[in-house]
Amino acid sequence: MAARLAQVEGAEHTAMLGLGVYRPARVVTNDEVAGLIDSSDEWIHSRSGIRTRRFASDAETIIEMSAAAGRDALAAAGISPEHVDCVIVATSTWLLLTPAAAPQIATALGMNHPAAFDISAGCAGFCHALAVGSDLVKGGTAKYALVIGVERLTDTVDPTDRGTAFLFADGAGAVVIGPSDEPGIGPTVWGSDGTQHRAIRQDKDWMEFFAEIDEKGLDAVRPYLAMEGTAVFRWAAHSLKTVCLDAIDRAGLTPADIDAMVPHQANGRIIEIMARELKLSQDTALANDIEHTGNTSAASIPLAMEALLRSGETKPGADALLVAFGAGLSYAAQVVKLPNWQ
């Protein structure tokens, strides 16, 4: 008779135990970005809801921003770095194909050789990483996981591109996931639509760029982030209602039970449409961090959670709907209990 493989048991329930963020020091106004795209503060704000955003300096790297956010998340959770078994980094702007950023971040935090890897799901990356981290803790593969969303989008955006230059910015956010006596992370509703893959994309692959260098030399144009804004707006504003309602239902709640909504901070108008479509209570706190932070892709959900908690509009333990969407097109949503924050 063949031997039976031993199994491990994880936590029955998980929760985000602590939250930390890093916002770059430099505040950039609409007037500063408007000149290169023949625009204005009024035009940018009316179309995106953005007034300012943060741009990282050379010293504010993916590693440094992630480590700073991670330290604060660990402090808020009361968890020592050596107790973390896994680090998951959601990013689309770590500009090395290999190695991943996560192992270096774990080392910077003084961790004891945890599993560490990056995931790429565009602006939906944090919600994807949250789902993976929670399942690892439930499965017994990790007792505590550190999930980080981090971007330096200013490294990937053409400052003269009228469709993207005013939208994207930099920052990092992190949460510690661990066992909980009560459910703190609801079931995840996620998916993708590859037919829309060109809506948000790198405008050329690296082999195309290398061939262009061979042909044009110094006149070759490096790859940049490109976006078909109208297609993304229509898809997100009107296609995610079902995803959000499904996540709320799987959590055993109704829209009236939701204390706060923290959508990916893609566009102020999309946020307003989504909240209206869901018919949330008038008392539901709605994250609008895009006004002062811009679109930070995988970092936007944790940054928006922190801003909402810091404002006092909601509190740790509140039931919040998280929903994110981005390149792929990929999407994910879950209802969570908001964490302690640092």
Instruction: Please list the alpha-helical segments (H only) found in the chain.
Output: 30-34, 41-48, 62-77, 102-108, 125-139, 206-216, 229-239, 241-250, 268-278, 290-293, 300-311
Q: Return the active site residues.
A: 123, 264, 295
The distance of Cα 140 from the centroid of its chain, to the nearest Å, equals 25
From 9, 6, 17, select the one nearest 317 (Cα to Cα): 17
Paired with 326 in beta bridges are 330
- Which distant-in-sequence residues (6+ apart) come within 8 Å of 217 by Cβ? none
Nearest to 255 by CA among 282, 289, 235, 288: 282
Report the distance separating Cα 49 and Cα 288, nearest Å. Answer: 9
Which of 337, 171, 168 has its CA nearest to residue 262?
A: 337
Integer Cα distance of 147 and 174 in angstroms: 6
For 329, which DSSP code?
T
C-beta separation of 54 from 294 below 8 A = yes
